[in-house]
Structure 1
Amino acid sequence: MESKDPETEIHPLKNEEGKAAAAAEGKGTAAPGAGGLPRKAGRLSRWRTAAFFLSLFLCLLVVFAFSFIIPCPVRPVSQKTWSRSYDNAATYPFLALADVDGDGVQDVLFAFQAAAGHLDHHRRSFNGSCPEAGLASPCAFVAAHSGTNGSTLWERPVGEDLLLMDCTLELTNTPACLLIGKPDFLAALDRRTGQALWQQVVDFGTNSTILSPLLKIPDINKDGVSDLLFFTSTGGKVTFLFCSGSDGRPIGASKVLHLPGCRGHLLHLTKSGALYVLFYSVTTVYAYSVEELFHMVLEDHHSTALKEDPHWELTIDRTTHQLSFLSTGEILSLAEVAKKAGASLLVARSGMLELVDGQRLGSMWVTDIPHIWREPVLGSFYPDEVDVLIESQVSPMRKKVLMVEGASGDIEWEVELLSQEDNPRAATLATADHRSAFLFWGLYPENTNGTGSSEEPRPWQPQKLYLFHPSLPNVLLEMSNSSEAIVAFEGVLFEHSRHACYVLLTGPQAGSPPGNVGLLKRKLKEDVASSRVIWLSRLAQDSDQNIRDRFYRMRYRSLR
């Protein structure tokens, strides 16, 4: 340590510079090429800089090309509202929403009955009339209208009369509409073009009633396409028939079940993967496995797509095929609360609502609700729950709208409205807060705040549409009204998680004298902006405009 130069310890960098200078002097006689190394390094650095800027230029050029030169896909601009009308026509209570033209916007499919001279005031000319299709006039048509502007995508005559239409199925990888009509036929249309995929003559029997819905079942004839099962009712007998989904041909012969007073049916999937058809009459629920029904048609079948659930087989009465529930009274409807295996079953009776475990078949709760009027509507009063909207009849011209909690059966909210017999069924739209907006029809009694009055709706008064959201339980929004007879009503998101609208189908129904049939789409926000706020209980800090603004800013979400 003592031998070190003190100057070096104090100024180490200065010492290194001195050494470098001395080394440079000592190498004055080095080879000529040695002194060129710094110049080569400088050239390399310039090349690297040039390469960097060239790469940057190419990247910017690509971005420019994709942003301005190559056009982006044109997003369809949806009209806020549109309407279409058909003269000298009558309509059916079938209304379906599906993306027909592949533009990402839901389109509207419906059916009507008209003579050869019917006219849609906003349609272009379409080929096809009753005589051209070999049908007597008037005949039944199916039409698809664009969800963006209501223009006619396709329209075609399908039969003399239409008994059932279901546009939710997919056959041979093709989205299809299944039709049952007269003269007795079963047909499948390509939902995108309206062209027939196949059509079969099927004998439904004299004076028979087609039971809705038509059921899609697993492939039982092993041709790679899901098959179909439908039911007809005549007196106390229910006839069923399996048909191929690929061409509509019957699979085996039709068979008969003795189910007096059958009103409807439901296809239910258990957690073990077994399919059961639940039939309900006035007071009784019957259960048959699809495997058993197919065995009745083809006794020697060896299908592996069908099976039975051991627990269900122990619960079903083997003699009568009946299921026993806690609730009693006239059965109005039977529904699943979710589209999944083992989903709970909701039984609506004239004076009770019961939720049944869809796998164990035990009662989860029973709630007394006098004079239930029609089939319940499912939605979410609480976030991420399945709750139930019920309409019950208070008097011939008055009704209650009630919200029943799905988890407990408790009544969480209610309001009383004046009503008419032709009030359509309610609808729901899922909102971004994982609850639902509820849409229902009626007439709010002005002078009673919903607490009861002798006020009755006069025949000329139009029915009005009301919007309710659980985040504002003290408020109703009174929106549009309709003086026409409403045949079908749906709430729908026309685009994924946006463009919340409702669709109305109005006019005389098939079998009545023809008149004007109207199809209307309205954007919900447009009605919200001009709506009237009804306070069920007043909050001083809120104004009517604040309420409208909150509903106007409400966001919606798609469930699929």
Structure 2
Amino acid sequence: MMDKELEAEIHPLKHDDRKPRGSLENRTEKDRSFKKAPHHSRFAHCRTIVFFFLLFTSLFAVFIISFIIPCPDRPISEKMWEINFNTAVTYDFMAFKDINEDTIQDIFFLYKDSNSSSSFNISCTDEGFSSPCAFLAAVSGANGSLLWERPVAQDVAYMECFNQQMRNGPPSTCFIVGKQNSFLAVDSSIGEILWHLPWHFGVNDSILSPFLKVPDVTGDGIQDLLLFIKSGSKIKSCLYSSTTGDQVASISHLNLEGEVGYIMHITNTGAYYIIFHSASSLYGYPLKDLYEEMTGEINIFEEDPYWKIMIDNVTHRMPPSLSMETIRYLMKVPGDTGEDILLVKSDACELLDGQKLISKWTLNVSEIVRKPVLGYYKPGATAIVLENGAGVQRKILIVDAASGAILWSYPLIAFAGTPKSATVKTADRRSAFFFWSSSNQTETVDSRKNLYMFHPTFPDIFLEFTNVTKNIVAFNMLFEQNHHASYVLLTGPTSQDWPGLVSLSKQKVKENVLDAEVIWLGQARPENEQTIKDRFYELRYKREA
């Protein structure tokens, strides 16, 4: 017994020779299976061959197609570029639109060159103008190359570009009013003049801005154009077909004194209203009434029942409680259920509910020097950027649009010629803010202007990007593909009567961060400068919806 136990410990896997009766039957079944194995082996072998053949064929097809149909070239956006016109003047106008579909916004601007002809061999005389005349140019945002340019007016009084939102017509159109009684529309995608008509208005007439796009009233499927012209205290309403430029109707009956501004507002019921501000009063005109008075025809526009009761039927004046001091600016601000209305008055800023027109909040600031800018200080929460102060002593205020609370403020030196602030949305649902300041207490021809970048993650830090001594005519932020952003500068002579160097330039924000100087706004320095630059460098940007 001991010998068998010892043997089991030495050979633990050794089978016992004594097997039950059923083991013989099992062995017989195994022998039969073994005899069938060659047939299964041949089937598995064939299946393997078919699998590798199909795999090889698929890979070969992918390899061949990758050479026959190459991937489209991805647009390459240069870090910076600059184009110059040596004997020219320019205008305070700049617009962005991706017209060559390379995912990078392109730039429209106006210039008047003494050379009187363009790089595309189109001269002023080709369009019936004397030399020099104003050219509208489209420049690639990627590399600064001219996409197209065309003479559009002897001199430009006003211009505005729109993106088409209806089924027909060009995707975007620029409307231009010339000082010498001309009115034309340009397809901004290709530079083709869609129509060019004479426009006769008086010497003392002034065109009010902005132009308004209204729902199609001519039946061609394209939004039409509503303009207002001021002559003395009279306001003339003019309705034009965007397709042909023909005047559909006009009427001159609005009587508003002093500086006049307006917005088009859509109530919660979908009714269109034009809200005018003049002196310390607000006036509301339903688009329905304006259209019917101009044309004598019934239209599909509606009135808002609440607004119909609120607005005086004779004077069109809105409740006096809404405006007590002189109104300087009027603008729309995104709200919870629609758009609210911001009044910038001589003694305060007040936000009105966009439907009920009751005050949501009032902020006591009395020296707002330019129209506010919108951005995001907290994630996804609209903020209002105010520039407040007298003379060159200014203070930047970032105000919460929901409550009117001041979220951030900082004093800057800025004179009248300093560009306005700008914002661009970042991927964290906040904004990067860009402010200009002057190094001089007095404005001179060669005053140095500094561009600062600010982000709410570092409330005590500016990045100083660049110093500019040229006269800046226009400045704005440009969104690029792959979550990048750039800033664009248009510089030129201070007077239309003295031609000089006109420059349009672009610089990527990301590249400027590397060479920027860190400016500490407070005493504390919790992080080193390189860490801060790295954080700014890693910011990604997002196009507004």
Is the aligned partner of 1:513 residue 2:488?
A: no
Distance 1:508 1:315 in 2: 49
* Residue 22 of structure 1, CA deviation: 9.3
1:130-145 equivalences in 2 (<5 Å): 130-145=124-139
2:339 aligns to what SS in structure 1? coil
Is the aligned partner of 1:531 residue 2:531?
A: no
Distance 1:540 1:469 in 2: 16
* Residue 320 of structure 1, CA deviation: 1.7
Q: Provide the residue aligned with 1:291 in structure 2.
A: 288
Q: Mark the CA change 1:477 to 1:509 in structure 2 (over 3 Å): closer, same or farther.
A: same
Q: Provide the residue aligned with 2:64 in structure 1.
A: 65
- Contact 2:117–2:123 at 8 Å: present in 1 too? no
* Residue 179 of structure 1, CA deviation: 1.6
Instruction: Give CA-to-partner distance per residue, 1:516-547, whole Å, 9 cap, x none.
Output: 11111111122222222111113343122222
* Residue 481 of structure 1, CA deviation: 1.6
Structure 2 residue ranges without an equivalent (≥5): 1-15
Is the aligned partner of 1:17 residue 2:26?
A: yes
Q: Which amino acid aligns with 1:336?
A: K
Instruction: Give CA-to-partner distance per residue, 1:429-483, whole Å, 9 cap, x none.
Output: 10111111110111379xxxxxxxxx66776440111111111111111210211
Q: Provide the residue aligned with 2:148 in structure 1.
A: 154
Q: Mark the CA change 1:17 to 1:506 in structure 2 (over 3 Å): closer, same or farther.
A: same
Distance 2:53 2:411 in 1: 73
Distance 1:407 1:260 in 2: 33
Q: Mark the CA change 1:150 to 1:348 in structure 2 (over 3 Å): closer, same or farther.
A: same
Distance 1:341 1:187 in 2: 38
Q: Provide the residue aligned with 1:476 in structure 2.
A: 462
Distance 1:13 1:144 in 2: 93
Q: Which amino acid aligns with 1:55?
A: L
TM-score (ref. length: structure 1)? 0.88
Is the aligned partner of 1:177 residue 2:174?
A: yes
- Contact 1:350–1:373 at 8 Å: present in 2 too? no
Q: Provide the residue aligned with 2:486 in structure 1.
A: 501
1:74 aligns to what SS in structure 2? coil
* Residue 260 of structure 1, CA deviation: 1.6
Q: Provide the residue aligned with 1:419 in structure 2.
A: 414
- Contact 2:124–2:130 at 8 Å: present in 1 too? yes
Instruction: Give CA-to-partner distance per residue, 1:479-501, whole Å, 9 cap, x none.
Output: 10211111111012122522x11
Distance 1:149 1:164 in 2: 28
Q: Provide the residue aligned with 2:4 in structure 1.
A: none
1:192 aligns to what SS in structure 2? coil
* Residue 416 of structure 1, CA deviation: 0.9
* Residue 13 of structure 1, CA deviation: 7.6
Q: Which amino acid aligns with 1:478?
A: E
Instruction: Give CA-to-partner distance per residue, 1:278-304, whole Å, 9 cap, x none.
Output: 1112222211111111011122x2322
* Residue 552 of structure 1, CA deviation: 1.5
Distance 1:443 1:396 in 2: 12
- Contact 2:439–2:448 at 8 Å: present in 1 too? no
Q: Provide the residue aligned with 2:377 in structure 1.
A: 381
* Residue 36 of structure 1, CA deviation: 10
* Aligned with residue 352 of structure 2, among 353, 356, 368: 356
Q: Mark the CA change 1:483 to 1:206 in structure 2 (over 3 Å): closer, same or farther.
A: same
Structure 1 residue ranges without an equivalent (≥5): 1-6, 25-34, 120-124, 446-454
Is the aligned partner of 1:342 residue 2:341?
A: no
Distance 1:21 1:525 in 2: 73
Q: Mark the CA change 1:117 to 1:250 in structure 2 (over 3 Å): closer, same or farther.
A: closer
Instruction: Give CA-to-partner distance per residue, 1:286-338, whole Å, 9 cap, x none.
Output: 11111111011122x2322x111111111112222122354532212111113
Q: Provide the residue aligned with 2:387 in structure 1.
A: 391
* Residue 43 of structure 1, CA deviation: 4.0
- Contact 2:415–2:442 at 8 Å: present in 1 too? no
Q: Mark the CA change 1:48 to 1:212 in structure 2 (over 3 Å): closer, same or farther.
A: same
1:153 aligns to what SS in structure 2? strand
* Aligned with residue 263 of structure 1, among 260, 264, 275: 260
TM-score (ref. length: structure 2)? 0.90
Q: Provide the residue aligned with 2:11 in structure 1.
A: none
2:377 aligns to what SS in structure 1? coil
* Residue 174 of structure 1, CA deviation: 2.9
* Residue 199 of structure 1, CA deviation: 2.3
- Contact 1:419–1:457 at 8 Å: present in 2 too? no
1:93-492 equivalences in 2 (<5 Å): 93-117=92-116, 125-170=119-164, 172-299=169-296, 301-304=297-300, 306-324=301-319, 325-326=321-322, 328-338=324-334, 342-393=338-389, 395-443=390-438, 460-492=446-478
- Contact 1:141–1:158 at 8 Å: present in 2 too? yes
Instruction: Give CA-to-partner distance per residue, 1:253-297, whole Å, 9 cap, x none.
Output: 443311222422111111111111111122222111111110111
Distance 1:543 1:263 in 2: 50
2:370 aligns to what SS in structure 1? coil
- Contact 1:169–1:216 at 8 Å: present in 2 too? no
Distance 1:273 1:90 in 2: 43
Q: Which amino acid aligns with 1:93?
A: D
Distance 2:317 2:543 in 1: 38
Q: Mark the CA change 1:339 to 1:23 in structure 2 (over 3 Å): closer, same or farther.
A: closer
- Contact 2:424–2:541 at 8 Å: present in 1 too? yes
Instruction: Give CA-to-partner distance per residue, 1:172-227, whole Å, 9 cap, x none.
Output: 14322122223323222111210112223233333211111111111112222221
- Contact 1:528–1:552 at 8 Å: present in 2 too? yes
How many residues are treated as equivalent by the alignment? 525
* Residue 164 of structure 1, CA deviation: 2.0
* Residue 65 of structure 1, CA deviation: 3.1
2:63 aligns to what SS in structure 1? helix
2:513 aligns to what SS in structure 1? helix
Distance 1:195 1:303 in 2: 32
- Contact 1:98–1:108 at 8 Å: present in 2 too? yes
Q: Mark the CA change 1:254 to 1:140 in structure 2 (over 3 Å): closer, same or farther.
A: farther
Distance 2:377 2:31 in 1: 88
Q: CA RMSD in A?
A: 2.6
Distance 2:332 2:139 in 1: 30
Q: Mark the CA change 1:281 to 1:39 in structure 2 (over 3 Å): closer, same or farther.
A: same
